Structure 1
Amino acid sequence: MTDETTKTKAIDAPEVAAWWAERRQYLKRIRKVPEIRQKFWREVGVYLLRRILWSYGFFPVFIAFWFPFVMASFNPVVLATDMIPILQGFIDSNPEQQATTISTLMIAWFSIGTFFLVFDFVLTPFRSPYQYEADVYMKSWEQLNHDQFPDKM
């Protein structure tokens, strides 16, 4: 290691420490603000509702209609011709078989929805309003304290 590299590391550490210390203090302060706390819980609710509706509402319905449509070569007449005997068989079956079929469909719906829910949580993580507020504050803090730090900051 050169002497210049040691100086850079020595300068970077206090800058980063000061930045993170200021960010932590700011987050502590804004967690006490009722408007931001209310915004946080509202955004958590909207985020969860959106993920659940998307995963359990859209994907299972889309797959339930898309796969048969693809298997019917995108021909609605063939799809109807294939589905009518299946639906007629369901209607003609006894109540126990109907209940088994319905429970199997519900399990399939739930498993597809759960798979996409987990996948959706990974792809679109929740972005806290606290973090957003801290990011905005830290950008202004960096600009205000820019002259106190070397050119690197």
Structure 2
Amino acid sequence: MTTPAPHTKAVDAPEVAAYWAERRHYLERIRKVPEIRQRFWREVAIYFLRRLLWSFGFFPVFIAFWVPFVLASFNPVVMAADLIPLLEDFVNSNPEVQATTITTLVTAWASIGFFFLVFDFVLTPFKSPYEYEADVYMRSWEQLNHDQLPDKV
């Protein structure tokens, strides 16, 4: 048998509904503001560009250089000595082998990029400027209506 905590106040549904109704109405109003709409689309573009650059630019390049560097015991001379014969073999091979090697590298690059892109979208969701504006507005709305709201909304 559990007893309620002595200092908790019951949350009334009309008060919570008033909060969310006010938030919804405010979001409807600010969606019509051109400056915020422009900022929203700019932030969407920056968000996608950042995710793509991290996923297809940084991570595949980092892995392509870090893994051989670790395998060479962090010695660039050993790494170069191991890679130079591979590069010579690539240059001296026939065009079909070169095409296969390039296709394999592009496939590896894309698979690493898509792998990190999926997890990047999951781990860093988009933060809408509309939601930020609504949060700021609702904080001030809560202060104005403080005596009418429950302790935790």
| TM-score for the superposition, normalised by structure 2 | 0.91
Deviation readout 1:17-48 (Å, 9 max, x if unpaired): 00000000000000000000000000000000
Q: Which residue of structure 1 lines up, in the alignment, with residue 60 of structure 2?
A: 60
CA–CA distance in structure 1, aligned partners of residues 34 and 135 of structure 2: 19
Q: Which residue of structure 2 lines up, in the alignment, with residue 120 of structure 1?
A: 120
Percent identity over the alignment?
A: 76
Which 5+ residue runs of structure 1 have no aligned equivalent?
none
How many residues align? The count is 148
Structure 1: which 4+ aligned runs deviate by more than 3 Å? 149-153
**Higher RCO (C-alpha under 8 Å, 6+ residues apart):** 2
Q: Which residue of structure 1 lines up, in the alignment, with residue 77 of structure 2?
A: 77
Q: State the secondary structure of the residue aligned to 2:12.
A: helix
How big is the alpha-carbon RMSD for the aligned residues of Structure 1 and Structure 2? 1.8
Residues 1:140 and 2:106 are matched in the alignment = no
Deviation readout 1:47-104 (Å, 9 max, x if unpaired): 0000000110000000000000111111111101100110000001000110000010
The structure that is helix-richer by fraction is 1
Deviates more, 1:100-109 or 1:142-151: 142-151
Q: Which residue of structure 2 lines up, in the alignment, with residue 20 of structure 1?
A: 20
With over 3 angstroms needed to count, the CA separation of the structure-2 counterparts of 1:47 and 1:93, relative to structure 1, is same
1:147 deviates by: 2.2
CA–CA distance in structure 1, aligned partners of residues 28 and 150 of structure 2: 28
Map 1:23-34; keep pairs closer than 5 Å.
Answer: 23-34=23-34
1:148 deviates by: 2.7
Residues 1:44 and 2:53 are matched in the alignment = no
CA–CA distance in structure 1, aligned partners of residues 96 and 75 of structure 2: 33
CA–CA distance in structure 1, aligned partners of residues 122 and 91 of structure 2: 41
Paired residue type of 2:106:
M
Residues 1:109 and 2:109 are matched in the alignment = yes
Q: State the secondary structure of the residue aligned to 2:68.
A: helix
With over 3 angstroms needed to count, the CA separation of the structure-2 counterparts of 1:67 and 1:140, relative to structure 1, is same
Whether the aligned pair in 1 keeps the contact of 2:15 and 2:148 (CA below 8 Å) is no
| TM-score for the superposition, normalised by structure 1 | 0.91
